[in-house]
Chain A
């Protein structure tokens, strides 16, 4: 076999492997859909206090900062849902924006949900940042931060 022919086959093989790699990079639209699906599951689970789903979506080392500037662990957040200390009286969340960095997605949005936290009702709209990372093929929430939107006086 001529050297030229081997080289040609080699180039075709490399091109094929390149196609395989490109196909493995999920298009951003598909990633957004996957993350939105995970987020929809989390939203539903928060309202129903479905601990199994919440346990699956929150990463073990998730970093949570609530609107009072308190840093919470996964165990603390799940305990709030389980005990009923954190309850959604209505649920309204949207205005999403996505930034995708490989297997990490930063999802920003606005929440107008009415929340009862340790007996206090909070109706103030808030901005949030959620960071999802794909771990073992599943989108898991690794960071959540919320800030009340300053209301004009």
Chain B
């Protein structure tokens, strides 16, 4: 076999290996983007959110650290924007306390590894010594990271009294 023929054979093998490798990456990528049914994802997110509330009430900082993304942006009903460290510190210090937890009226929209969960909260919250019983709407953004749904953004807005 001449050197030229030998090189062409090598190139063909290399090209074939590239195609196989890219094909394998494509399969892996499409598996990441799908195919867990939405109902199962909703259950997983609700479970993560319940665990989050439970951890807040118990001040379980390890669980809270795990359930919130490092880039967390939390906007509270006063329009204050908190990062993860600030938010967890409010819980740890007792500045933010849940006296009761009640949420309902959920809406879910799922886009691969991104989930939007919106709902209504009637939880009673003590914030810097002031008790807030007013109902609010919240929107939470969860991202699946390393197989776990974590909260990366949350915003709460008081529900206005319609008589105003």
Binds A, one of B39-47, B57-65, B71-79, B92-100: B71-79
Q: Known: A9-B13, A99-B153. Is A129-B71 also a contact (CB below 8 A)?
A: no
B100 vs chain A, min Cβ distance (A): 19
Is the CB–CB distance between A17 and B116 below 8 Å?
A: no
B69 partner residues in chain A, CB cutoff 8 A = 99, 101
How far, in Å, is B93 (CB) from chain A's closest CB?
20
- Residues on A with C-beta less than 8 A from B136 are 69
Q: Does B107 contact A (CB under 8 A)?
A: yes
Q: Which stretch, A30-38, A41-49, A83-91, A139-147, touches the partner chain B?
A: A139-147
Whether A65 pairs with B21 at a CB distance below 8 angstroms is no
A63–B107 contact, CB under 8 A?
Answer: yes
Could you mark each residue 1-39 of chain A with 1 if its beta carbon is under 8 Å from any beta carbon of chain B, else 0?
Answer: 100011001101110110011000000000000000000
Q: Which residue of A lies closest to B107 (CB)?
A: A63
B contact residues, total (Cβ < 8 Å): 45
Does B152 contact A129, Cβ atoms closer than 8 Å? no
Partner of B137 from A5, A65, A150 at Cβ < 8 Å:
A65
Is B141's CB within 8 Å of the partner chain A? yes
State whether the Cβ of A149 lies closer than 8 Å to any Cβ in chain B: yes
* Interface residue? A77 (CB, 8 A): no
- A76 interfacial by beta-carbon distance below 8 Å: no
- Add 6 more A-B contacts to A16-B21, A106-B141, A146-B157 (CB < 8 A): A1-B10, A69-B160, A70-B137, A127-B79, A129-B73, A145-B138
In this complex, what residue of B is CB-closest to A100? Answer: B71
Within 8 Å of chain B (Cβ to Cβ): is A108?
A: yes
Please indicate the chain B residues that have their CB under 8 angstroms from the CB of A103 in the complex. Answer: 111-112, 114
A108 touches B14 (CB 8 A): no
Cα(A149)–Cα(B76), bound, Å: 9
Q: How far is the CA of A99 from the CA of B145 in the complex (A)?
A: 14
Query: What are the interface flags for A71-109 relative to B under an 8 Å C-beta threshold, 1 for contact and 0 otherwise?
Result: 100000000000000000000000001010111101010
| A12 CB, min distance to chain B CBs, angstroms | 6
Q: Beta-carbon contacts of B126-159 to A below 8 Å, as 1s and 0s? A: 0000000001111101010100000011011111
